[in-house]
Structure 1
Amino acid sequence: FTITVEPMEGDRHTCGTTYDGLPADVTTGERILIDDGRVTLEVTGVDGPRVHTTVIEGGMVSDHKGLNLPGVAVSVPALSEKDIEDLRWAVRTGADVIALSFVRTGRDIDDVHRVMDEEERRLPVIAKVEKPQAVDNIDDIVAAFDGIMVARGDLGVEMPLEQVPIVQKRAIKLAKRNAKPVIVATQMPDSMIDNSRPTRAEASDVANAVIDGTDAVMLSGETSVGKYPVETVRTMARIVEAAEEDILAKGLPPLTDRNKPRTQGGAVARAAAEMGD
Structure 2
Amino acid sequence: MGKLTPFRFTKVIFTIGPATLDVSVLRRMLRAGVDICRINMAHASHEWTQKAIEVVRTASIEEGRGVSILMDIKGPEVRTGYIDGHIDLSEGQQIDLTQSPDATPDGDIVSIDINYPALIDEVSVGDVLLVDSGLMRFEVQEVRIDRIRCCVVIPGRMGSRRHINIPGKKISLPAMTEKDVADTKMGIGNGVDFFALSFVRESGDIEQLKKFLLDNQSKAKVVAKIEDQSGIENLEEILEVSDALMVARGDLGIEVPYEDLPIIQKQAVSSALTLGKPVIMATHLLESMTESPMPTRAEITDVSNSVFERVDCVMLSGETSVGKHPVECINVINKITKNAEAHSDYGGYNHDLTLKTTREKLMKSAVVLALELGGVGIVVFSSTGLHVRTLSALRPYGCPIFVFTERQEIINESRILWGVKAFMSEFKDSQEATISDSIYRLQSEGCVDKGDQLIIVPNLLFGEVNMVQIRNV
Scaled by the length of structure 2, the TM-score of the pair is 0.54
8 Å contact 2:273–2:353 — kept in the other structure? no
Distance 2:126 2:187 in 1: 40
Match of 1:167, SS?
Answer: helix
Q: Which amino acid aligns with 2:272?
A: A
Alignment of 1:119-134 (within 5 A): 119-134=216-231
Separation of aligned partners in 1, 2:137 and 2:280: 28
- Which of 268, 272, 275 lines up with 2:366 in the alignment? 272
- Given that 1:42 and 1:54 are in contact with CA atoms closer than 8 Å, whether structure 2 keeps it comes out as yes
Of the three residues 210, 213, 218, the one matched with 2:310 is 213
Structure 1 residue 245: Cα displacement:
1.5
Q: Is the CA contact 2:275–2:354 (under 8 Å) kept in the aligned structure 1? A: no
Q: CA offset at residue 61 of structure 1?
A: 2.3
* Residue 65 (str. 1) matches residue 162 (str. 2): yes
Secondary structure of the corresponding residue to residue 244 of structure 1: helix
Amino acid at match of 1:168: Q
Matches within 5 A, 1:1-277: 1-7=95-101, 13-247=110-344, 250=345, 252-253=347-348, 259=353, 261=355, 267=361, 269-276=363-370, 277=372
Q: Is the 8 A contact 1:127 1:149 kept in 2?
A: yes
Cα separation, partners in 2 of 1:146 and 1:41, compared to 1, 3 Å: same
CA distance in 2, matches of 1:37, 1:138: 24
> RMSD of aligned C-alpha atoms?
2.5
**Distance between the aligned counterparts of 1:178 and 1:223, measured in 2?**
31
1:115 Cα deviation after fit: 1.4
Q: Which has the higher helix share?
A: 1
Measured against aligned partners, the alpha-carbon deviations of 1:206-230 in whole angstroms (never above 9, x if no partner) come to: 1101111111111112222222222
**Alignment gaps of 5+ in structure 2:** 1-94, 373-473
2:190 partner amino acid: T
Specify which structure has the higher proportion of strand. Answer: 2
1: CA distance, partners of 2:184 / 2:335: 34
Query: Which consecutive residues of structure 1, in runs of 5 or more, have no partner in the other structure?
Result: none
Higher relative contact order (CA 8 A, sep 6+): 2
2: CA distance, partners of 1:233 / 1:222: 9
- CA shift, 1:140, in A, is 0.8
The 2-side partners of 1:93 and 1:254 are apart by 37
Percent of residue pairs bearing the same amino acid type: 35
Q: Per the alignment, do residues 159 and 121 of structure 1 end up closer, same or farther by CA in structure 2, a change over 3 Å counting?
A: same
Distance verdict in 2 for CA 1:69–1:245, change over 3 Å: same
Distance in 2 between residues matched to 1:260 and 1:72, nearest whole Å: 34
What CA distance in whole angstroms lies between the structure 2 residues aligned with 1:58 and 1:138? 34
Q: Could you give the per-residue CA deviations for residues 106-128 of structure 1, whole angstroms, max 9, x where no partner exists?
A: 12112112211221223211110
State the 1:8 CA deviation. Answer: 5.6
Counterpart Cα distance in 1 of 2:214 and 2:355: 30
Residue 125 of structure 1 aligns with an amino acid whose one-letter code is V
Distance in 2 between residues matched to 1:67 and 1:75, nearest whole Å: 14
Verify the 8 A CA contact 2:207 2:241 in the aligned structure 1: no
Distance between the aligned counterparts of 2:259 and 2:96, measured in 1? 31
**Which residue pairs with 2:79 in the alignment?**
none
- What do residues 75-105 of structure 1 show as CA deviations (whole Å, max 9, x unaligned)? 1011112111111111121100000111111
The question of whether the paired residues in 2 share the 8 Å contact of 1:179 and 1:262 is answered with no
What's the CA shift for 1:19? Answer: 2.1
C-alpha displacement at 1:159, in angstroms?
A: 0.9
The 3-state SS of whatever aligns with 1:60 is: strand
The offset of 1:13, in angstroms, is: 2.2
DSSP-derived class of the 2:117 partner: coil
Q: Is the 8 A contact 1:5 1:16 kept in 2?
A: yes
Query: 2:276 touches 2:354 (CA, 8 Å); kept in 1?
Result: no
Aligned to 2:447: none
